[in-house]
Structure 1
Amino acid sequence: MTTDSSTYHRRVAAEKRSAIIEAATRLFLEASYDGISLARIAEEAGVSKATLFKQFPTKAVLFEAIVTESWNVDDKDVQPQPGDLRAGLTAIGHRYAALLTRPGMAGLFRIVIAELPRFPELGETQFQLGKMPYFDSVRRYLEAENAAGTARLDDSVMAATQFLGMISNYVFWPRMLLLNWNPKAADTQNAVEEAVVTMLARYGVANGD
């Protein structure tokens, strides 16, 4: 098989995978996780059942892919260098706000919340594959700042919770109840900046301290 042929097949496979994930997310939200079959998802995605089952043999595996895709960011493993707490938190805060306002993120949470009583494993998947890896990246950054002497904190888990919570409480969670919640870019930026200022006041170390 030539290189061009391999590249083509990989691209087609990626396109089909994306179509399946998009179709599944839409159908789960419109109907229910339990009420939608893999065959129906294949039809909606415009792929054969064989193609879908090859990539996603069960709905659980497909949902894991949806969660992983939704929380994936290109630079998730690229943390700001410690030494400038304001700049680092600002970069992380804006990246988090952009992640939470991605198309489909609110829908993903609605699926989990709606189906949680019958399928608690969906919540576990969302927590372990989506939220926790991202949360841990922020916690590690704060620990690096603490080690560098630019932040003073005893509990990095609490600090990360506070920072991300200040942002999500304005940017994201109102969407769960208010379908038209769509703050302006300037308001979102202000929410991030205020969260950074609060963190600096609580955990920042001034030069010479």
Structure 2
Amino acid sequence: MNVNAPLKKGRKYDQVLAGAREVFLREGFEGASVDQIARDAGVSKATLYSYFPDKQALFMAVLTMECQLQSDQAMGIEILQRPVPEALYAIAHSFLEFLMSDFSVQVFRVCVAESARFPELGRAFYESGPKQVQEELATYLASDRAGRELVVEDPYMAADQFLQLCRADMLLRKIFSVEDRATPEQIDRVARETVKTFLARYARR
């Protein structure tokens, strides 16, 4: 399987992705069948296969789409133009909402479960998800705008620390089904505490 192979796009491409997203979320990776995805998407199997060579490639396309949407929302130009504490809070809040979503947790479980059989799936997940978020945040932390309020010698290390603070204990509780979902109040609290801790380390004095 080559999860990085270029895929042909057409007028039903987004329709297939939307159907696949719902089936993967509902059935998981193992439980999802190409037949069910085609039915939910309202396309024929031939149409589906004209876009995606296999279920793994389709799964990765859905994941990449979701990660890009999350990145666009968290790291939008309007957000990055705010004062640094406000921008960091918006980034943390958006990241947490995505991280704690049913889709994100389901994807995480799938990638862990399948990474031994399909190591390229785990690598592709890391490249399109955690690594991309860290790189975009590191770029922001290294920017002149952030530099006016922060002293960051290693932007990649600082970005990793910020994202680890965001995860807190909520993610483990969600993954292990200790709690069904994080409340808006919990997400807000963790986002605010993340920013306070990060600024205590990196704010320019």
User: TM-score range, shorter-chain basis?
Assistant: 0.7 to 0.9
Q: CA deviation at 1:168?
A: 1.4
Corresponding residue SS for 2:169? helix
Q: Which moved more, 1:85-94 or 1:171-180?
A: 171-180
Give the whole-Å Cα distance in 1 for the aligned partners of 2:188 and 2:146: 28
Q: More displaced, 78-87 or 160-169? A: 78-87
**Conserved? CA contact 2:141–2:147, under 8 Å:** no
CA distance in 2, matches of 1:45, 1:81: 36
Deviation digits for residues 24-74 of structure 1 (CA, Å, limit 9, x no counterpart): 443334xx2xx7653453245443111111121222321221211231234
Superposition pairs of residues 1-209 of structure 1, within 5 angstroms = 10=11, 13-29=13-29, 32=30, 37-43=33-39, 45-71=41-67, 72-73=69-70, 74-75=72-73, 77-79=75-77, 80-81=79-80, 84-144=83-143, 148-206=147-205
Residues 77 and 199 of structure 1: CA distance in aligned 2, closer, same or farther (over 3 Å): closer
Check the 8 A contact 1:23/1:45 in 2, yes or no: no
Q: Distance in 2 between matches of 1:58 and 1:151?
A: 46
CA 1:171–1:46 in structure 2 vs 1: closer, same or farther (change >3 Å)?
same
CA offset digits 1:126-150 (Å, max 9, x no partner):
1011222122111111111576331
Kindly tell me the number of residue pairs found equivalent between the two proteins. 193
Residue 73 of structure 2 aligns to a residue whose secondary structure is coil
**What TM-score does the superposition give when structure 2 sets the normalisation length?**
0.81
Q: Residues 162 and 181 of structure 1: is their aligned pair in 2 closer, same or farther, counting only changes over 3 Å?
A: farther
For structure 2, the 5+ residue unaligned runs are: 1-9
What does the per-residue CA deviation read over 1:145-186, in whole Å, with 9 as the maximum and x for residues that have no partner?
576331112111111111111111234232111253423211
For structure 1, the 5+ residue unaligned runs are 1-8
Q: CA deviation at 1:90?
A: 0.8
- The one-letter code sitting in structure 2 at the alignment partner of 1:197 is K
The one-letter code matched in structure 1 to 2:62 is I
Percent of paired sites with the same residue:
29
By how many angstroms is 1:201 displaced?
0.6
TM-score w.r.t. length of structure 1: 0.80
